[in-house]
């Protein structure tokens, strides 16, 4: 197994072999998660603290379940309600954490770079559960596992990432991962939601869904990140749905066996038609949630092995 990192802060520093190592181990954990007894002991005796400074449903629950299935002592700190509101700095938070001796720290934060900063100050392995618009590595890894299992490979695929690219950490981590694995990535969305430097990322950019989806194997839709918008980026949600919302007509431009993905939470009738999202022949949105638990188990298991090797 090749995975040498001390933390999982983003996809950017990962080597393709490390990505494959995480996905291979996650594949094994999918089997465990489908069994009637869902327990392994990879994290027995270790303490996992989940600190979410931003709301989350799927990701927090997924990390919590992943830690519990591997035998860790898991604690959720309610950061929204507590210290961030009282103005405690990240450094003070780190000192408090060090005194509690966690082994694994899962952090989500509204500011890009905040998780990296925390990782420099704490004495444990840190997993980035999403920082601002920057990265969301476990989301990209679970997307990769979903694609690999449904397409049988994770290279030389045509993948369209559609919608609000500008505010999306999911898009950024996916662009990095899918590029490292040698796929052809297209970004599709209104020019106001495509970052200005996007053409330099080794991707193709389209502002038209029919053209962008032509011949695609994978159609990945993104949520409009209204909480990160400080002005009007779209004329109206109705107009946005008309031009960029995924419906049967637009999907017909992709390959006949193209899969549809969405990281959740979904705005039905804004970026995606509810019928497409629920169509089990096209949509792999539920599989993405399932793969999320397995990928987080694999990532924490590998980081814990490195912690143990360091201590030995
Ligand atoms: N859940 C994902 C994230 O935290 C996607 C989204 O919120 O739209 O970035």
CA 163 to chain centre: 16
- Whether ligand 1 lies within 6 angstroms of the CB of 134 is answered as no
The candidate with the shortest Cα–Cα distance to 59, out of 267, 274, 291, 226, is 291
Q: Which of 172, 265, 266 to mutate to test the pocket of ligand 1 (most atoms within 8 A of CB)?
A: 265
SS3 assignment, position 83? helix
Per-residue pLDDT of the chain (312 residues; tens, 9 = 90+): 689 999 999 999 999 999 999 999 999 999 999 999 999 999 999 999 999 999 898 999 999 999 999 999 999 987 765 566 666 788 888 888 899 999 999 999 999 999 999 999 999 999 999 999 999 999 999 999 999 999 999 999 999 999 999 999 999 999 999 999 999 999 999 999 999 888 889 999 999 999 999 999 999 999 998 888 877 788 889 999 999 999 999 999 999 999 999 999 999 999 999 999 999 999 999 999 999 999 999 999 999 999 999 888
Pocket probe mutation, ligand 1, options 107, 130, 142, max atoms within 8 Å of Cβ: 130
**Can you say how many angstroms the Cα of residue 82 is from the centroid of all Cα atoms in its chain?**
26
Measured between alpha carbons, how far apart are the two ends of the chain, in Å? 18
Beta-strand runs (E) in 189-310: 204-206, 218-221, 259-261
Ligand 1 neighbourhood includes 109 CB (under 6 angstroms): no
| Spatial distance between the Cα atoms of 242 and 276, rounded to a whole number of angstroms | 15
Q: What separation in Å is there between the alpha carbon of 37 and the centre of ligand 1?
A: 30
Note if the pTM is more than 0.85.
Answer: yes
Give the tokens for residue 136: 């969301």
Tell me how far the alpha carbon of residue 304 lies from the centroid of ligand 1, in angstroms. 26
Q: Say if residues 165 and 198 touch (Cβ distance below 8 Å).
A: yes
Q: In whole angstroms, how far apart are CA 16 and each of 138, 184, 299?
A: 15, 16, 15
Distance from the CA of 30 to the center of ligand 1, in angstroms?
A: 22
Q: Is the dihedral of CA 286, 194, 118, 180 positive or negative?
A: positive
Strand order through the sheet with 47-52: 73-77, 47-52, 104-109, 125-131
Q: Is residue 263 lining ligand 1, measured as CB closer than 6 Å?
A: yes
> How far is Cα 108 from Cα 103, in angstroms, rounded to an integer?
17
């Amino acid at each position: 197994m090749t995975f040498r990192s001390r933390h999982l802060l983003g996809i950017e520093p990962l080597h393709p072999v490390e990505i494959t190592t995480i996905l291979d181990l996650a594949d094994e954990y999918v089997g465990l998660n489908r069994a009637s007894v869902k327990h392994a002991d990879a994290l027995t005796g270790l303490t996992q603290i989940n600190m979410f400074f931003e709301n989350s449903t799927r990701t927090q629950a997924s990390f919590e379940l992943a830690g519990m299935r591997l035998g860790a002592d898991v604690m959720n700190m309610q950061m929204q309600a507590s210290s961030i509101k009282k103005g405690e700095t990240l450094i003070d938070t780190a000192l408090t954490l060090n005194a509690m001796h966690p082994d694994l720290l899962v952090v989500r934060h509204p500011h890009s770079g905040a998780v990296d900063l925390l990782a420099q100050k704490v004495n444990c392995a840190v997993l980035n559960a999403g920082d601002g618009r920057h990265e969301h590595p476990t989301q990209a890894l679970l997307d990769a596992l979903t694609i690999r299992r449904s397409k049988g490979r994770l290279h030389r695929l045509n993948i369209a990432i559609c919608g609000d690219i500008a505010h999306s950490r999911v898009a950024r981590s996916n662009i990095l991962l899918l590029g490292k694995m040698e796929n052809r990535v297209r970004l599709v969305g209104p020019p106001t939601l495509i970052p200005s430097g996007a053409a330099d990322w080794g991707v193709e950019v389209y502002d038209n869904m029919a053209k962008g989806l032509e011949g695609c194997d994978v159609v990945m839709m993104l949520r409009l990140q209204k909480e990160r918008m400080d002005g009007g980026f779209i004329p109206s949600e109705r107009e946005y749905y008309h031009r960029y919302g995924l419906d049967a007509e637009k999907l017909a431009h992709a390959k006949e066996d193209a899969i549809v993905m969405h990281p959740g939470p979904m705005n039905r009738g804004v970026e995606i038609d509810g019928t497409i999202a629920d169509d089990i022949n096209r949509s792999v949105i539920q599989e993405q949630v399932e793969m999320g638990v397995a990928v987080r188990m694999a990532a924490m298991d590998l980081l814990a092995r490195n912690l143990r090797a360091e201590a030995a």
